[in-house]
Amino acid sequence: MALKTILIHPDPRLKATADPVSDFDKELAKLADDMLETMYAAPGIGLAAPQVGVGKRLLVMDCVKEENASPEPMVLINPEVTWSSEELNTYEEGCLSIPDQYADVERPAEVEVSWTDLTGTLQKERFDGLWATCVQHEIDHLNGKLFIDYLKPLKRQMITRKMVKLKREKARA
């Protein structure tokens, strides 16, 4: 397994719509493994392929936060939200592509998602709580959308300016 570099906003690759996956091969399994390793190392609870510069509709997540609980890694390929609850939930979201910035985002509290797993088998599941927030955040990444796109323009610009400064400092170091 290998750690991938996580892109930092602003980057055009984070604004692009990712392409559907058609080849369920060893290369895809290796990408999923590398993304899970990168997510756990960050640490994070989710990661979408565009965040590591790969324009494919693939995401990984594990929202088990308790220290002694068993991990529950999930790999979702070509995921689609097939149902959303009317009830909404607000969660203070973060993003590995926008380090150290957090903001409240309102989303459907429950969603049903269908996807293909690494063996090419179709799966469907209903998510709630943090899992529902995370899967929607990650599917947004596949559509070139970031959590800051839900914020007021002024707040979004402020965060973007901070990220431009951070990237400039990182490039100099």
Closer Cβ to ligand K1U, 25 or 92, answer by number: 92
Closer Cβ to ligand K1U, 3 or 25, answer by number: 3
Q: Which two tokens stand for residue 40?
A: 């756990």
| CB 83, CB 112: distance < 8 Å | yes
Whether 93 sits among the annotated catalytic residues: the reply is: no
Cβ neighbours, 10 Å, residue 78: 18
Q: Which of 78, 97, 101, 116 binds ligand K1U (CB under 6 A)?
A: 97
Q: Which residues contact 118 (CB under 8 A, 6 or more apart)?
A: 24, 28, 29, 32, 75, 77
Closer Cβ to Zn ion, 8 or 95, answer by number: 95
Site string for Zn ion, 80-119 (x = CB under 5 A): ---------------x------------------------
Residue spans of alpha helices (H) in the chain = 26-41, 129-142, 153-172
* Residue 45 touches which member of Zn ion, ligand K1U, none, C-beta under 5-8 Å by kind: ligand K1U
Q: Is 47 exposed, middle or buried (0-12, 13-18, 19+ CB in 10 A)?
A: buried
* Residue 134 touches which member of ligand K1U, Zn ion, none, C-beta under 5-8 Å by kind: ligand K1U
74 near ligand K1U, rule: CB under 6 A = no
Count of residues making up the chain:
173
Cβ neighbours, 10 Å, residue 105: 19
47 near ligand K1U, rule: CB under 6 A = yes
Element of type H or E holding 76: strand 74-84
65 near ligand K1U, rule: CB under 6 A = yes
Q: In whole angstroms, how close is the CB of 131 to ligand K1U at the nearest point?
A: 10
Of 14-22, 82-90, 109-117, 130-138: span binding ligand K1U (CB under 6 A): 130-138
Catalytic residues: 138
Q: Which residues make up the interface to Zn ion (CB under 5 A)?
A: 95
